[in-house]
Amino acid sequence: MTDTRDEVARLTADVVLFARTPDTGPRVLLIRRGWPPFEGRWALPGGHVDLGETTEAAAVRELAEETGIRIGTPLALSGVYADPGRDPRGRYVTFAYTCQVGRVIPAVAADDATAARWFPVTDVLAEPGLLAFDHHTIVTDALQRGVW
């Protein structure tokens, strides 16, 4: 049996940002990770919650830092993900937020993202191995909860 008395949980926040596009259907914004774990894989914009910061503020900040996108629309909490094995670095609990914008907003990769791109939701759903961590589940859950 593993001794978990000294286990530390770290808080993160992720953003599932959807855009409506009349010609290609809904899209979701992803970033390519520049660091391990999952270096080079696509993921939702997100990251660590800083001391004294709310999870929603962290989500807004991380979205801006990694993609250059600053949104004025409030985010909606779409789920909390805390499975022990969801991150190979240890125990990470993420608060996933979602938002819908009326168009594809240009994104510029920055911070620890090497690329930022809008993917058709149908492509993301069809390829579970495309996304790092449990982000395929997070996107699927956001859609099932009626966010889109």
Q: Print the domain residue range for 32.
A: 9-144
97 inside domain = yes
Q: What is the pLDDT of residues 112-121, one digit of tens each?
A: 899 999 999 9
Q: Output the domain CATH number for residue 57.
A: 3.90.79.10
What percent of the chain shows pLDDT beyond 70? 96
128 inside domain = yes
For residue 16, the cross-strand partners are: 98
104 inside domain = yes
Euclidean distance between CA atoms 127 and 136, whole angstroms: 9
Euclidean distance between CA atoms 93 and 12, whole angstroms: 6
Contact 133, 43 (CB under 8 A): yes
Record the pTM: 0.93
Q: What is the pLDDT of residues 84-109, one digit of tens each?
A: 999 999 999 999 999 999 999 999 99
79 inside domain = yes
Contact 94, 45 (CB under 8 A): no
103 inside domain = yes
Euclidean distance between CA atoms 40 and 36, whole angstroms: 8
67 inside domain = yes
Euclidean distance between CA atoms 14 and 79, whole angstroms: 10
Local confidence band at 146 (pLDDT 50, 70, 90 cut-offs): confident
* Number of domain units in the chain: 1
